[in-house]
Amino acid sequence: MKLTTNSYKLLGLLILLSLAACQKDYLDRPSEDQVEAPYFFNTAKDLEVATNDFYTFLPNESWYTNDGSSDNMIPLTVADRIKGNRTVPVGSGAGGWSWSQLRKINYFLANYHKVPDAAAQKKYSGIARFFRANFYYDKVKTFGDVPWYGKVLTAKDEDLFKARDSRQLVMDSIMADLDYAIENIPAEKQLNLITKYTALLLKARVALFEGTFRKYHQIAGHEKFLNAAVSASSELMNTGAYTLYSQGGADQAYRNLFARNNQDQVETILAIDFELGMRVHGLGYSFTSATSGAYGIAKDMINSYLMKDGSRFTDRSGYKTMEFYQEMQNRDPRLTQTTAGPDFRANGETANEPVNLTITTTGYRLIKALPDKLQWGVSASYFDVILFRYAEALLINAEAKAELGTISQSDLDLTVNKLRSRAGMPMLSMAEANANPDPYLLTMYPNIDGGAFRGVLLEIRRERRIELFNEGQRWDDLMRWKAGSKLNQPIVGVYFPGVGAYDFTGDGKADVYVHTGNTSGAPGTVTALININQRTLWDPVSNTQNANKGSLDPFYQRGKFDEKRDYYAPIPIEDIQLNPNLKQNPEWEKLYR
């Protein structure tokens, strides 16, 4: 429905009246806890209890499926932001433009000093400012410039309906909050609580995002943030508090890190704690359900994994039309710890799993963080979900230095090469990478900067995509690199040279049968059927859809990322009507005029 100008005015008037008449979830809402504040902010325990509520603001288990809304994976239902189907929300606070969390944080910061315990004041105010920084980081990523509110607003506050503040002011305020958190939160290892180490990694994450976003979107001041990313990640690395998890060796450590039920403090800095009978989630079911998730890893993600000897898979002749069993041989061991390879065996089982292509859109089944089979039922999973881990600090350090043009081989050896060593992979040579930048990666990131460091920067991006796959950061990476058009490239799956039977496990027996409706010729050993009239193929050689040979093509509509519009989300219509000082993000206003 298209609203008229008069409709907007009437709608805005009704909203203002409702805000005055009731306690709507908005920044000027009267707070019941203000009355209780003199009775609550008395002891250190009060501060702890108050900040415990902020942990509900952290991401939930969907952190492990967010890549399903990027170019890394295609689920059964493709996200609107990939399809280009996002619309301007109407309701106030919709689409992420909500401020209730901020009000809680600011209310705490206005009252914590009433507790006569200096140590508690420092620790818990630091935690509160960590959460405020994280809140605003998400807002800037989503909307760009936003209003900065560093206090609790009242109904008569002149700042209630102010315009957006500059990106510089908001980002400087975020960094100030993080510096305060780092200075005041104790340096202790707490798996499920915010510590100085968590704050250091968040600062590094935020600074890398902002530094590269500014660089690739041509906003002044990127060097300051990249240097801050180097500084924060280096400080975390130099503490020696964390290292890389290595139990199980190169062929198992990466998978074991995520698939175990309980995290430890070796590599994991912050995790969401789940316990059987207390707090559970449904990731095991989503990963294995044909109707709930059916997550399929993208072919170009699979192509990005190097050969085990460190050479590039995409330099091999015929890589575009290589069949599944062959392409899985002699690759970076993380490949078959991320997707089900020819010898995939579920955790705790003594026999290999049958090939099952009904639970994956692309044929590349997701197994990273897949728990034991007892947790594959609906809401039956209780393994912990990692939000911050040490490996990210290494990747941030390397990327920031490469973007600044200051990286050296010794820097690589302390960062990327530690990750490659954990995976049993050869070391990355900066000289070799810069002398021969990967042309396959250049097609993904044609606007990449770096000058003489372009080759090594591409390799760092490769390492980041592989190491942090399905840990909630791929969309942000594409946005900060100004690589949104990458979403418009085909997101496809396993290649089949035509109808017939295929051996996925290398045992000489057919596991998959590709057909056009008649399955009478399928061998008795087949456990997966593909009807290419229903699950169509894309020919990577001729770039033809609905082909008789090619890669599974679960998203034949293709992505529709608008370079002029989609790096930012739209602000809800009602909020713009409530506050005439707010202006809509570029191009979004055209959708409701």
Is the residue at 453 inside a domain? no
Phi, then psi, of 400 in degrees rounded to 5: -60, -40
Token pair belonging to 537 = 């193929």
CA-based torsion, 60, 147, 88, 155: positive or negative: positive
Query: What's the CA gap between 343 and 505, in Å, rounded?
Result: 6
Instruction: Identify which of 571, 568, 562 has the alpha carbon closest to the alpha carbon of residue 89.
Output: 571
Token pair belonging to 172 = 């400087």
Q: Which long-range contacts (CB under 8 A, 24 or more apart) does 449-452 make?
A: 449/215, 449/216, 449/403, 450/402, 450/403, 450/405, 451/405, 452/405
Give the pLDDT band of residue 376 (cuts 50, 70, 90). Answer: very high
Query: What's the CA gap between 545 and 144, in Å, rounded?
Result: 37
Is the residue at 137 inside a domain? yes
What's the mean pLDDT in 128-135?
A: 98
DSSP state of 275: B
The answer to whether 211 and 225 are in contact (CB under 8 A) is yes
Q: Lowest-confidence range among 154-158, 329-333, 568-572?
A: 154-158
Q: Show the DSSP H helices in 144-195 as ranges.
A: 167-184
The yes-or-no verdict on residue 337 having pLDDT over 80 is yes
Is the residue at 169 inside a domain? yes
- In order of 1, 114, 247, 274, the CA distances from 263 in angstroms are 49, 36, 13, 10
What's the mean pLDDT in 190-203?
A: 98
H or E segment at 28?
A: none
H or E segment at 510?
A: none
The yes-or-no verdict on residue 47 having pLDDT over 70 is yes
Strands 512-515 and 500-502: antiparallel
Q: Lowest-confidence range among 14-23, 187-196, 208-217, 417-426?
A: 14-23
Token pair belonging to 525 = 């050993």
* Tokens 């690759």 belong to residue: 331
Q: Work out the mean pLDDT of the chain and round it to a whole number.
A: 93
Give the pLDDT band of residue 8 (cuts 50, 70, 90). Answer: very low
Is the residue at 73 inside a domain? no
The answer to whether 494 and 341 are in contact (CB under 8 A) is no
Cα-based angle 137, 202, 42 (whole degrees, multiple of 5)? 85
Is the residue at 110 inside a domain? yes
Query: What's the CA gap between 124 and 185, in Å, rounded?
Result: 7
The yes-or-no verdict on residue 21 having pLDDT over 90 is no
Which pLDDT score is estimated for 40?
86
- In order of 54, 121, 212, 242, 389, the CA distances from 194 in angstroms are 10, 15, 26, 15, 13
The yes-or-no verdict on residue 464 having pLDDT over 70 is yes
pLDDT over 90 percentage in the chain: 91
DSSP state of 449: -
Residue type, 578: L
Which pLDDT score is estimated for 589?
87
Which pLDDT score is estimated for 472?
95
535-547 pLDDT per residue, tens: 999 999 999 999 9
Query: What's the CA gap between 250 and 422, in Å, rounded?
Result: 6
Phi, then psi, of 530 in degrees rounded to 5: -125, 115
CATH number of the domain bearing residue 146: 1.25.40.890
Give the pLDDT band of residue 37 (cuts 50, 70, 90). Answer: low
Which pLDDT score is estimated for 128?
98
Instruction: Identify which of 88, 91, 5 has the alpha carbon closest to the alpha carbon of residue 591.
Output: 88
420-445 pLDDT per residue, tens: 999 999 999 999 999 999 999 999 99
The answer to whether 317 and 88 are in contact (CB under 8 A) is no
Query: What's the CA gap between 558 and 539, in Å, rounded?
Result: 14
pLDDT over 70 percentage in the chain: 93
Which pLDDT score is estimated for 38?
62
**What is the maximal distance between C-alpha atoms in the chain?**
80
Which pLDDT score is estimated for 39?
60
Q: How many CB atoms lie within 10 A of CB 557?
A: 11
User: What are residue 271's DSSP bridge partners?
Assistant: 386
* Domains identified in the chain, total number: 1
Strands 537-539 and 512-515: unpaired
**What dihedral do alpha carbons 3, 28, 24, 17 form, nearest 10°?**
-50
The answer to whether 458 and 441 are in contact (CB under 8 A) is yes
What's the mean pLDDT in 353-380?
A: 97
The answer to whether 146 and 139 are in contact (CB under 8 A) is yes
- In order of 88, 457, 585, the CA distances from 593 in angstroms are 11, 42, 14
Is the residue at 165 inside a domain? yes
**What is the extent of the structural domain holding 179?**
31-58+99-185
Instruction: Identify which of 224, 221, 265, 263 has the alpha carbon closest to the alpha carbon of residue 241.
Output: 265
263-279 pLDDT per residue, tens: 999 999 999 999 999 99
Q: Per DSSP, which regions of 3-92 are E strands? A: 73-74
The yes-or-no verdict on residue 95 having pLDDT over 90 is yes
Query: What's the CA gap between 498 and 528, in Å, rounded?
Result: 15
Token pair belonging to 49 = 């209890």
